């Protein structure tokens, strides 16, 4: 297939049509910050961290959901984008109750990493301090809404990879929460297979195994993509 | 939280005429999963709200995961998981009504009747709700008492009407 | 039914009207506003009155769609004189029948606007309220019985469909619409012809037409009135669109809050099917088209096209990023055309009278007329239709009869929670898409709320922000958290607890949310805030406390448990 | 010799940040070459004199903290929020999800160790807890923040030495930024 010529941050690249801007950037080690993107499941464009400027477009577009077109001129690191990435990060921290000091994912958390990458030293917006539930009813796992950033990676992994669709989202606006079945305790779910893929997919310490304590969480989100690749070979 | 597994085991009363209405709707829609919202409308109409066992029934009938059904129900303001009360008083808070003092009406209801939007009286007689514009802007401020639109309401009059509703069981 | 059959029916109906055995005709407005004021009672009582007087054979009584001046309802119109009686109730019906029908002279003090005008008009068409209007979309609203397809047929109903199917190719139809320069009436004002052409060009075995009747703006009821007053007009527009783009299936997504509109539209569909104006092989043209109603379940965001599609598919109404646009990847992944109710209702007049005719109405960039739902602190509120480019002053003072209680005009809010306000200094603005955008507002779907000096603009911004916060779907972060933060900050300003830093932060957030949100809801949620800041910044500034004063106040408690 | 004055203050926190400050070990001598620590939990001084740098650990949880912080703001040239509690409330903020009464009851009434006989202490001389815990930037202008629970000793020393040498530190540039 004929490759397309595109320009990213003033450099020229050849890329296959049908690929997203994000895929092309990742191939060439151009850093694009993401939270809701997880290789192996469908993109939803919800976190808005991967927004890029495209010449000729008035709107910022999410790199994960926008396919490349011929002669596209893309800017990924303008001052405007950097500024918005920082605000997005701050809003993530202010939305729920992220207490790194007591979190299992301290040190391996993608949200923490994001904060370092955008150089966020403090949060300028008032914290919302919502009251959130912690579901410990599952024999092995815990779901802590305090640490959830609503990236819905667990929802998509459970639905698209495991096929169980235990997780979904309830309510709307800032009151959205991840739910299991009819918002019933996870331990009583009739759909969950306890496969644990959602734990691997979760970028923060919202989903974790009971056996560990602060700072011990090891995550391997890449496993999802590997799994999907292996499945293709079996077929 | 209610127990999840026990819920799905709960069979709806087959003789309940309301279940039959839902079953008829399901059949009419050919049990297509994309008819979920249409079926929920029917269920909400016949039950007044959407009890969890009804949702479990619908989820099974349409072969949809429980969380998919629950998430759809909680997304739309029209659907309610809880009973809204025998009588309902819905105060329009659309822009025209807002400009003409919908908030004052809500304050008055709270001080005289002791209920805020979304609340139902202890005896389940009256539920107070708000709507984002019922499209009767020419009659602002408007209140809907049991499906009957009261236009250009005044404070004393509307409170009396509500109290009458509560008294007439 | 073929073309000839339709003509036969129309001739027969027209003949019936011409050889009218009735000497008098009385229309009772059964639009939602008048029904709320009790017009159904009036209709019943009127029928009784006429029967008791033995006038059944002389007086025809019809329920009609919205007549316009909704806050004067229930309205009753005597034809052919166009005499309108306002605030009719059961007690004065006998007198009206006696005076108007028997004595043949109207009762002056019961006429429309009799309580506010020095001399009310016997022919309501002479009244400035109607005189300044130009009704294209609403032309037959308030004249025909919306529940009878025959009434519509008499008023050139389905003539446009007949013309397109029998005389025009899909390309012709698209060219005509393009020529008319009609722009989408849902708010964004995208050229309708261009949109049709895009969907037409995508080749697919299945395409869809969707009519967006999820009118969620608080303070807007244009679509509702059109659907209730003339549902067949919308249906006809949808069928023409289906023919033009090559779709065989349409969906009308109507707000659940509008039960009457749903009922009448469903009736219309049944009648049209029965007459063969929907279904297979319409008018013997090989073209097949059918429409289904989907009822909204109370989510403002479903007015956004991708969310609306998700909702029709039975899912949470959350939008998805565009591109791909619905024209390419829409309902069930098929090319889909989505237009607003008012847009579809504008189609048949364009087909009948030609695109040229339509394009000459209005302003160079915004052709045609626009329906507004006029409300707020104004004397006559209701449903109006004016040519694009009519000045706000004309709308407020000529049509609306000026400010209520002699108040002072402060601002007009357009476009609801996605729009902005027009301050008194711009009363002479010619209302069209560009002019409103230049003022930092938008045309929107047509809600027009007039505010007087008692309105607090910061609180107005807070009101709309709270609305957007409640209606945010929660999918993307900027809208989900941003609207909540902005709402809290606005509350802080309203409570006189905020400093200049808070205001700066609020402005920064507003622009951030506007530029980064996934869909139009978040993208326009900051508009009322930005617009009031632009025109009424001093009202914000006056509320701020100085930074040094901060240590005198309590700890900010903008934290919700 | 223009020696600078440093104050370190302990508001609503666990003193871990001060422990981390002590962890700079012998480098404290480097600090001592340029400045005096005039007020600190480890210095016996009741009044706060005007200082060049104030390092403040912990968040604002009570009226006393509030007054102290406002006082320091007036007397410090550079106010540094030290540690996650001061910067973003951290663990101390975890009571914000509950009404204050529930928090008191949990601690003084319902706790098992109370043998069901406890009551909420109400002596007027006791400090008065605010309804909500807030981080320093919500109350006063903060000139610099060092997040971390606790911040690393190297980060603290780096910031101190930069300010003492009239330079502005940059945690991000120097890869010393960390939370938790």
CATH of the domain at B134: 3.40.30.10
Same domain, yes or no, for B53 and B118?
no
Count of B–C CB contacts within 8 Å?
130
* Residue B97 marked in a binding site: yes
Contacts of C114 (CB under 8 A, 6+ apart): C86, C108, C120
Same domain, yes or no, for B114 and B151?
yes
Residues of chain C whose beta carbon is less than 8 angstroms from a beta carbon of chain D are: 550-551, 555-557, 559, 561
Q: Do the Cβ atoms of A164 and A158 come closer than 8 Å? A: yes
For A164, the token pair is: 């169980």
Tell me whether residues B136 and C32 touch, CB distance under 8 A. Answer: yes
In a domain, B52, yes or no: yes
Angle at B90 between CA B84 and CA B94, to 5 degrees: 135
- DSSP string spanning A62-103? ETTTPBP-TT-EEES--HHHHHHHHHHHHHHHHHTT--GGG-
Q: Is A84 an interface residue toward C (CB < 8 Å)?
A: yes
- Distance from C-alpha of A210 to C-alpha of A142, rounded to nearest angstrom: 6
How close is the nearest chain A Cα to the Cα of B25, in Å? 22
Interface test with B, best of C87, C142, C225, C257 (most B CBs within 10 A): C257
The pLDDT confidence band at residue A149, using thresholds 50, 70 and 90, is very high
For B159, the token pair is: 């409170």
β-strand pairing of A207-209 with D51-57: unpaired
**Out of C550, C551, C559, whose CB is closest to D132?**
C559
Which residues, in sequence order, are bridge partners of residue C452?
A: C409
Q: To the nearest 5 percent, what fractions of chain A are helix, strand and coil?
A: 30, 15, 55
Q: Do the Cβ atoms of B108 and A216 come closer than 8 Å? A: no
- For residue B74, which of C477, C294, C299, C331 has the smallest C-alpha distance? C299
In a domain, A84, yes or no: no
Examine domains C369-455 and C458-552 and report if their fold is the same. Answer: no
Cβ contacts (< 8 Å) between C556 and chain D: which residues? 134, 138
- Distance from C-alpha of A140 to C-alpha of A168, rounded to nearest angstrom: 20
How close is the nearest chain A Cα to the Cα of B58, in Å? 12
* Residue B89 marked in a binding site: no
Residue D92 confidence (pLDDT): 95
**Out of A159, A171, A184, whose CB is closest to B4?**
A184
Q: Is A193 an interface residue toward B (CB < 8 Å)?
A: no
* CATH assignment of the domain containing A118: 3.30.70.20
Q: To the nearest 5 percent, what fractions of chain C are helix, strand and coil?
A: 50, 15, 35
Tell me whether residues C217 and B72 touch, CB distance under 8 A. Answer: no
Which residues, in sequence order, are bridge partners of residue D5?
A: D36
Please state the domain count of chain B.
2
Same domain, yes or no, for A53 and A165?
no
Please state the domain count of chain D.
1
In a domain, B50, yes or no: yes
**Domain C458-552 CATH assignment equals 2.40.30.260:** no
- Distance from C-alpha of D73 to C-alpha of C93, rounded to nearest angstrom: 77
The predicted model gives D92-108 an average pLDDT of: 91
* For C514, nearest residue in chain A (alpha carbons): A59
Same domain, yes or no, for B61 and B109?
no
Same domain, yes or no, for A134 and A205?
yes
Sheet holding C76-79, edge to edge: C59-64, C24-29, C76-79, C83-85
- Distance from C-alpha of D106 to C-alpha of A226, rounded to nearest angstrom: 47
To the nearest 10°, the Cα dihedral for C2, C4, C5, C10?
130
Considering Cα of C55, then C57, then C58, then C64, what sign does the dihedral take?
Answer: positive
For D73, the token pair is: 């703001």
For B89, the token pair is: 């008083």
Residue D1 confidence (pLDDT): 55
Residue boundaries of the structural domains of chain C: 21-124, 149-359, 369-455, 458-552
Interface test with A, best of D59, D88, D98 (most A CBs within 10 A): D88
Q: Do the Cβ atoms of C378 and C412 come closer than 8 Å? A: no
Max intra-chain CA distance, chain A: 54
In a domain, A72, yes or no: yes
DSSP type of residue C91 = G
Same domain, yes or no, for A66 and A150?
no
Q: Give the A window 131-160 contacts with B, CB below 8 Å.
A: 159
Sheet holding A51-54, edge to edge: A11-15, A4-8, A73-75, A51-54, A61-62
* CATH assignment of the domain containing D30: 3.40.50.700
Task: Look at residues B48, B75, B102 and tell me which one is the last residue of a structural domain.
Answer: B75
Same domain, yes or no, for B125 and B103?
yes
* For C380, nearest residue in chain B (alpha carbons): B138
**Out of D84, D135, D145, whose CB is closest to A101?**
D84
For B108, the token pair is: 């008055």
Same domain, yes or no, for B93 and B160?
yes
Which residue numbers in chain C have pLDDT < 50? Answer: 551-561
Q: Is A18 an interface residue toward C (CB < 8 Å)?
A: no
Same domain, yes or no, for A176 and A107?
yes
Alpha helix segments (H runs only) across chain A: 21-27, 79-95, 110-117, 153-156, 197-201, 222-234
Same domain, yes or no, for B91 and B31?
no
In a domain, A141, yes or no: yes
Tell me whether residues C381 and B137 touch, CB distance under 8 A. Answer: yes
Q: To the nearest 5 percent, what fractions of chain D are helix, strand and coil?
A: 40, 25, 35
Alpha helix segments (H runs only) across C216-281: 222-229, 231-245, 259-274
In a domain, A82, yes or no: no
Say if D and B touch: at least 3 Cβ pairs within 8 Å.
Answer: no
- Distance from C-alpha of D126 to C-alpha of D104, rounded to nearest angstrom: 14
Same domain, yes or no, for B91 and B159?
yes
Q: Tell me if the bond preceding D150 is cis, omega within 30° of 0.
A: yes
How close is the nearest chain B Cα to the Cα of C183, in Å? 24
In a domain, B82, yes or no: no
Interface test with C, best of A34, A54, A126 (most C CBs within 10 A): A126
DSSP type of residue D145 = E
Q: Which domain holds residue A55?
A: 4-77
How close is the nearest chain A Cα to the Cα of B77, in Å? 9
Q: Which domain holds residue D35?
A: 4-93+132-164
Q: Is A172 an interface residue toward B (CB < 8 Å)?
A: yes
Tell me whether residues B152 and C32 touch, CB distance under 8 A. Answer: no
Q: Do the Cβ atoms of C156 and C144 come closer than 8 Å? A: no
* CATH assignment of the domain containing A46: 3.10.20.740
Q: Do the Cβ atoms of B55 and C453 come closer than 8 Å? A: no
Phi and psi of D118, rounded to 5°? -75, 160
Domain C369-455, CATH class in plain words: alpha beta
Q: Is A92 an interface residue toward B (CB < 8 Å)?
A: no
- For residue C433, which of C417, C423, C446 has the smallest C-alpha distance? C446
Alpha helix segments (H runs only) across D13-140: 16-22, 28-34, 63-75, 84-88, 100-104
How close is the nearest chain B Cα to the Cα of A178, in Å? 9
Residue D36 confidence (pLDDT): 93
Task: Look at residues B46, B75, B104 and tell me which one is the last residue of a structural domain.
Answer: B75
Cβ contacts (< 8 Å) between A182 and chain B: which residues? 2, 4, 7, 52, 55-56, 66-67, 69-70
The count of other CB atoms within 10 Å of the CB of residue C496 is 11
pLDDT digits (tens, 9 = 90+) for C219-277: 888 999 999 999 999 999 999 999 999 999 999 999 988 989 999 999 999 999 999 99
Q: Which domain holds residue B46?
A: 4-75
Tell me whether residues A131 and C561 touch, CB distance under 8 A. Answer: yes
Considering Cα of C421, then C426, then C432, then C433, what sign does the dihedral take?
Answer: negative
Same domain, yes or no, for A212 and A115?
yes
- For residue C240, which of C342, C344, C354 has the smallest C-alpha distance? C344
The predicted model gives A222-235 an average pLDDT of: 89
Cβ contacts (< 8 Å) between A173 and chain C: which residues? 469-474, 480, 483-484
pLDDT digits (tens, 9 = 90+) for C67-95: 999 989 899 999 888 999 999 999 999 99
Alpha helix segments (H runs only) across C19-67: 32-36, 39-52
Task: Look at residues B49, B75, B101 and tell me which one is the last residue of a structural domain.
Answer: B75
Tell me whether residues C516 and A131 touch, CB distance under 8 A. Answer: no
- Distance from C-alpha of C486 to C-alpha of A172, rounded to nearest angstrom: 17
In a domain, A91, yes or no: no
DSSP type of residue C48 = H
The pLDDT confidence band at residue A187, using thresholds 50, 70 and 90, is very high
**Domain C21-124 CATH assignment equals 3.40.30.10:** yes
Chain length of chain A:
235
Phi and psi of C24, rounded to 5°? -130, 150
As to burial, measured by CB atoms within 10 angstroms (0-12 exposed, 13-18 middle, 19+ buried), residue C146 is buried
Which residue numbers in chain B have pLDDT < 70? Answer: 1-15, 169
Residue D137 confidence (pLDDT): 92
**What residue has token string 């709200």?**
B49
pLDDT digits (tens, 9 = 90+) for C524-535: 999 999 999 999
In a domain, A86, yes or no: no
Q: Is A174 an interface residue toward B (CB < 8 Å)?
A: no
**What residue has token string 């709960």?**
B10
Return the CATH superfamily for domain C149-359: NADH-ubiquinone oxidoreductase 51kDa subunit (3.40.50.11540)
β-strand pairing of C24-29 with B148-150: unpaired
In a domain, D71, yes or no: yes
- Distance from C-alpha of B49 to C-alpha of B52, rounded to nearest angstrom: 10
For C16, the token pair is: 């019936």
The predicted model gives D63-88 an average pLDDT of: 94
Tell me whether residues B149 and C35 touch, CB distance under 8 A. Answer: yes
How close is the nearest chain D Cα to the Cα of C499, in Å? 11
In a domain, A163, yes or no: yes
In a domain, A8, yes or no: yes
In a domain, D36, yes or no: yes
Q: Do the Cβ atoms of C44 and C90 come closer than 8 Å? A: no
Max intra-chain CA distance, chain D: 62
In a domain, B49, yes or no: yes
Q: Is C293 an interface residue toward B (CB < 8 Å)?
A: no
D partners (3+ CB pairs within 8 A) are A, C
In a domain, D171, yes or no: no
Which bin fits C146, alpha (ψ -120 to 50), beta or left (φ > 0)? alpha
The predicted model gives A115-124 an average pLDDT of: 95
Max intra-chain CA distance, chain B: 51
Tell me whether residues B67 and A172 touch, CB distance under 8 A. Answer: no
In a domain, D113, yes or no: no
How close is the nearest chain A Cα to the Cα of B139, in Å? 30
């Amino acid at each position: 297939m004929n490759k397309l010529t595109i320009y990213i941050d003033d450099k020229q690249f050849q890329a296959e049509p049908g690929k997203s801007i994000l895929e092309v950037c990742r191939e060439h080690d151009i850093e694009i910050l993401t939270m809701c993107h997880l290789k192996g499941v469908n993109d939803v464009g919800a976190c808005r961290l991967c927004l890029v400027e495209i010449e000729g477009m008035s709107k910022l577009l999410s790199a994960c959901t926008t396919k490349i077109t011929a002669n596209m001129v893309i800017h990924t690191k303008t001052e405007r984008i950097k500024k918005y990435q920082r605000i997005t990060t701050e809003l993530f921290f202010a939305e729920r109750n992220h207490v790194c000091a007591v979190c299992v994912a301290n040190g391996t958390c993608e949200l923490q990493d994001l904060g370092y990458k955008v150089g966020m030293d403090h949060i300028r917006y008032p914290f919302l301090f919502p009251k959130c539930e912690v579901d410990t009813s599952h024999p092995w796992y815990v779901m802590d809404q305090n640490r959830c950033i609503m990236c819905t990676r667990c929802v998509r992994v459970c639905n698209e990879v495991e096929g169980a669709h235990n997780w979904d989202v309830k309510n709307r606006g800032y009151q959205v929460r991840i739910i299991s079945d009819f918002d019933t305790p996870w331990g009583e779910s009739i759909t969950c297979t306890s496969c644990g893929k959602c734990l691997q997919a979760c970028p923060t310490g919202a989903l974790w195994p009971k056996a560990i304590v602060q700072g011990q969480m090891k995550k391997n989100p890449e496993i999802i993509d590997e799994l999907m690749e292996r499945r293709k070979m079996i077929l | 939280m209610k127990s999840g597994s026990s819920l799905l085991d709960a069979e709806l009363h087959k003789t309940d005429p309301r279940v039959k209405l839902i079953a008829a709707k399901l059949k009419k829609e050919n049990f297509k999963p994309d008819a979920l919202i249409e079926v929920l409308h029917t269920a909400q109409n016949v039950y007044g709200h959407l009890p969890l066992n009804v949702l479990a029934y619908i989820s099974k009938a349409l072969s949809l995961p429980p969380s998919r059904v629950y998430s759809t129900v909680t997304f739309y303001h029209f659907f309610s998981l809880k009973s809204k009360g025998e009588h309902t008083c819905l105060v329009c808070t659309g822009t025209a009504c807002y400009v003409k003092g919908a908030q004052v009406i809500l304050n008055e209801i709270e001080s005289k009747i002791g209920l805020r939007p979304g609340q139902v009286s202890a005896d389940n007689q009256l539920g107070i709700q708000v709507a984002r514009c019922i499209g009767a802007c020419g009659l602002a401020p408007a209140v809907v008492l049991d499906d009957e639109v009261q236009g250009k309401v005044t404070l004393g009059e509307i409170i009396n009407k509500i109290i009458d509703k509560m008294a007439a069981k | 039914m073929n073309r000839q059959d339709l003509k036969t029916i129309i001739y027969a109906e027209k003949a019936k009207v011409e050889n009218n055995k009735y000497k008098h005709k009385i229309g009772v407005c059964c639009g939602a506003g008048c029904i709320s004021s009790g017009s159904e009672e009036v209709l019943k009582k009127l029928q009784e009155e006429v029967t008791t007087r033995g006038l059944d054979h002389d007086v025809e009584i019809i329920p009609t769609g919205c007549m316009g001046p909704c806050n004067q309802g229930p309205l009753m119109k005597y034809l052919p004189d166009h005499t309108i009686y306002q605030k009719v109730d059961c007690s004065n019906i006998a007198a009206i029948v006696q005076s108007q029908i028997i004595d043949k002279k109207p009762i002056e003090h019961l006429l429309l606007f009799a309580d506010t005008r020095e001399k009310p008009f016997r022919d309501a068409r002479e009244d400035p309220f109607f005189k300044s209007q130009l009704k294209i979309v609403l032309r037959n609203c308030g004249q025909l019985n919306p529940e009878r397809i025959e009434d519509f047929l008499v008023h050139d109903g389905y003539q446009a469909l007949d013309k397109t199917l029998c005389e025009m190719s899909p390309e012709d139809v698209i060219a005509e619409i393009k020529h008319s320069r009609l722009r989408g009436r849902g708010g964004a004002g995208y050229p309708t012809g261009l949109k049709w052409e895009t969907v037409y060009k995508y080749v697919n075995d299945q395409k869809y037409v969707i009519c967006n009747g999820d009118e969620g703006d608080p303070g807007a009821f244009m679509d509702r009135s059109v659907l209730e007053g003339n549902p067949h007009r919308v249906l006809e527009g949808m069928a023409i669109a289906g023919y033009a783009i090559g779709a065989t299936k349409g969906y009308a997504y109507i707000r659940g809050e509008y039960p009457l509109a749903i009922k009448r539209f469903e009736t219309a569909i049944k009648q049209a099917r029965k007459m063969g104006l929907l279904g297979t092989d319409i008018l013997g043209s090989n073209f097949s088209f059918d429409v289904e109603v989907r009822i909204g379940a109370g989510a403002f965001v479903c007015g956004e096209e991708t969310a609306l599609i998700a909702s029709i598919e039975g899912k949470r109404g959350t939008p998805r990023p565009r591109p791909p646009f619905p024209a390419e990847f829409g309902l069930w992944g098929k090319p889909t055309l989505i237009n607003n109710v008012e847009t579809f209702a504008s189609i048949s007049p364009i087909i009948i009278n030609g695109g040229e005719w339509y394009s000459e109405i209005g302003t160079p960039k915004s052709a045609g007329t626009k329906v507004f739902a006029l409300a707020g602190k104004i004397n006559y509120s209701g449903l109006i239709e004016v040519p694009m480019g009519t000045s706000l002053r004309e709308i407020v003072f000529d049509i609306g009869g000026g400010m209520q209680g002699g108040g002072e005009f402060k601002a007009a809010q357009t476009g609801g929670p996605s729009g902005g306000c027009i301050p008194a200094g711009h009363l002479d603005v010619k209302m069209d898409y560009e002019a409103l955008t230049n003022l930092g507002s938008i045309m929107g779907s047509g809600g027009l709320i007039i505010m007087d000096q008692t309105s607090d603009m910061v609180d107005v911004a807070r009101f709309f922000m709270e609305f957007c916060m409640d209606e945010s779907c929660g999918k993307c972060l900027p809208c989900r958290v941003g609207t909540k933060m902005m709402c809290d900050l606005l509350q802080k300003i309203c409570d006189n607890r905020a400093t200049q830093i808070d205001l700066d932060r609020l402005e920064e957030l507003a622009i951030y949310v506007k530029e980064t949100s996934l869909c139009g809801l978040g993208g326009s949620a900051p508009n009322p805030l930005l617009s009031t800041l632009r025109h009424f910044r001093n009202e914000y500034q006056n509320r701020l406390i100085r930074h040094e004063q901060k240590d005198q106040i309590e700890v900010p408690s903008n934290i919700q448990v | 010799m223009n020696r600078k004055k440093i104050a370190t203050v302990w508001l609503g926190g666990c003193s871990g940040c001060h422990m981390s400050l002590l962890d700079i070990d012998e480098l404290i001598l480097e600090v001592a070459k340029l400045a005096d620590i005039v007020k600190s939990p480890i210095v016996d001084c009741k009044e706060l004199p005007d200082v060049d740098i104030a390092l403040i650990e912990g968040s604002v949880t009570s009226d006393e903290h509030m007054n102290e912080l406002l006082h320091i703001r007036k007397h410090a040239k550079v106010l540094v929020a030290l540690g996650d509690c001061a910067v973003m409330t951290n663990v101390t903020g975890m009571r914000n999800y509950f009404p204050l009464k529930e928090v008191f009851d949990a601690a003084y009434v319902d706790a098992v160790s109370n043998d069901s006989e406890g009551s909420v202490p109400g002596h007027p001389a006791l400090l008065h807890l605010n309804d909500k815990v807030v981080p320093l930037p919500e109350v006063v202008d903060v000139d610099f923040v060092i997040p971390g629970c606790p911040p690393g000793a190297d980060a603290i020393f780096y910031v101190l030495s930069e300010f003492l040498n009239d330079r502005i530190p940059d945690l991000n540039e120097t890869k010393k930024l960390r939370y938790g």
